Amino acid sequence: MIKRTLLIVFLTNICLPSEQVWESKLRVDGKLIISNLSLNEERVFSSRVRGKLSIILHNQNLSLAINWGDFANLSDANVFYNIKEYGLFEEDWKLSNDGKVAYSPNPVLMLLEILVSDTLIIGIRPKYNNEIRYTFNISNLSKHLLKNRSKFSFIEDLEFYEKDDQLTPESTNVKQNLNKHILIKRDARFVKYKTRHNDMFFFNSFSSPVNFESNLLTSNNTSDLFYFNKWLRKKGVLFTDADMRIFKFFKDSPTVIPYEDIHSLILKGNNITGYRIHLNNKHIAAFPKSTKDEVQSVFTFLKNR
């Protein structure tokens, strides 16, 4: 009877893992760590271990990391994750020197995705072993951000948290607000992936911002996403979170086209003459030395706006 009871308890722990919750820890050096253990265990090498998802904030530097519980890979590794609201995505993540911890190359975007979701399934394809895959209960992270709102206030996408003390973390309004930021960042990430071998594209990121030429900016109310450089970063096409700006020779100011004003898009060109996007039957954005697939990703970015 005792053996049967122990067996039932053992199987219950495997099949129905206990619900994990977020934990916050503020260290003496000012580093804030918000972490969560995976619902499941994986046998990486000799023992079964849980994964650990951590959001680390220190001196306005944000990191999002997964500790796989044991050695997973060398230097870079292919990490894939699935969030129900946005689907599957995979990319290369940097690993720690001991090969146990992987760091997201897009911590802000992934933080936003987690804020509006309940479940994260994430895995890594190790070099010398089978893939490791963990499931996390990622609900209720908003409560920890609200508790530490002053530390996250420098992130533009989370400004509305700072403005409303009565904000309900899981409200529809919050999710809709975040969703706008998430979709445009995901589309920009897709362009970055498609153009990763084209050195004429420059991408802004939270961890390594690009210093665009000062004359490219005409407003302080927008955030730069990426720039196609035609000539020494002085002439080209700049894409912000609100509009695109076409810079031409012999013109001191750019042509600014808000995304909401775009009602017509046509992709034209070939491998010889180059590809270009025609907007509203009036403006042309040219992308010389770029493949059709690369320019198509930009076209899709504009179309989704």
Per-residue pLDDT of the chain (305 residues; tens, 9 = 90+): 444 434 443 444 444 445 668 999 999 998 999 999 999 998 877 788 999 999 999 988 999 999 998 888 877 888 999 998 888 898 899 999 988 999 999 999 999 999 888 999 999 987 666 789 999 999 888 888 888 888 887 887 776 555 555 445 455 666 777 888 889 999 999 999 899 899 999 887 543 444 444 444 445 556 778 989 866 556 889 999 899 999 887 777 889 999 999 999 999 999 999 999 999 999 999 999 999 999 999 999 999 98
Same-domain status, 28 and 123: yes
Residue 277 within any structural domain of the chain: yes
Instruction: Look up the CATH number of the domain holding residue 219.
Output: 2.30.29
* Structural domain of 30: 17-152
What pLDDT score does 12 carry? 41
Sign of dihedral through CA atoms 143, 144, 148, 151?
A: negative
In the prediction, which pLDDT does 149 show? Answer: 81
Looking at the structure of the chain, the number of domains it has is 2
- Confidence at residue 263, expressed as pLDDT on a 0 to 100 scale: 94
Question: Helices 292-304 and 172-194 sit at what angle, rounded to 10 degrees?
Answer: 170
174 in a structural domain: no
211 domain-assigned: yes
Which of 97, 129, 152 marks a domain boundary?
A: 152
Let me know: does 153 contact 147? Beta carbons within 8 Å: no
Contact 226, 204 (CB under 8 A): yes
Q: How far is CA 219 from the centre of its chain?
A: 24
Distance, in Å, from the CA atom of 239 to the CA atom of 203, rounded to the nearest integer, reads 10
Closest to 101 measured CA to CA, from 59, 128, 64: 64
Asked whether residue 81 falls in the same domain as residue 206, the answer is no
Cβ-contact 92, 38 below 8 angstroms:
no
**Cα(7)–Cα(9) distance, rounded to whole angstroms?**
5
Radius of gyration over every alpha carbon of the chain, rounded to an integer in angstroms: 22
End residue of a domain, out of 152, 178, 212: 152
Same domain, 46 and 142: yes
CA distance 305 to 297: 13
Residues 101 and 27 in one domain: yes
Residue 117, in any domain of the structure:
yes
Residue type, 168: T
Same domain, 207 and 111: no
Pair (142, 265) in one structural domain: no
Q: Counting Cβ atoms within 10 Å, is residue 94 exposed (0-12), middle (13-18) or buried (19+)?
A: middle
The H or E element containing residue 77 is strand 76-83
Q: Are 26 and 64 in contact (CB under 8 A)?
A: no
Reported as half-sphere exposure (CB side, CA atoms, 13 A), residue 34 has a value of 24
CB-CB contact of 238 with 248 (8 Å):
no
> Tell me, what's the pLDDT at 19?
60
Specify which residues 263 forms β-bridges with. Answer: none
Task: Please report whether residue 188 resides in a domain.
Answer: no
Q: Are 111 and 201 found together in one domain?
A: no
Residue 66 to residues 88, 153, 294, Cα–Cα distance (Å) = 17, 24, 31
Joined together, the tokens standing for residue 56 give 């680390």
Where does the chain have alpha helices with state H? 2-15, 107-115, 141-147, 149-152, 159-163, 172-194, 292-304
User: 87: domain CATH number?
Assistant: 2.60.40.1880
Residue 252 is predicted with a pLDDT of: 75
**pLDDT number for residue 173:** 64
Contact indicator for 57, 67 with CB cutoff of 8 Å: no
Residue 41 maps to a domain:
yes
Instruction: Give all strands of the β-sheet with 283-287 in edge-to-edge order.
Output: 265-270, 274-279, 283-287
Q: Are residues 144 and 199 in the same domain?
A: no
Residue of 32, 294, 253 whose CA lies nearest to 145:
32
**Is residue 159 situated within a structural domain?**
no
Q: What is the pLDDT of residue 210?
A: 46
Task: Please indicate, yes or no, whether residues 209 and 288 belong to a single structural domain of this protein.
Answer: yes
- Residues 6 or more apart whose Cβ sits within 8 Å of residue 217: 224
| pLDDT value for 128 | 65
> Is 30 within the bounds of a domain?
yes
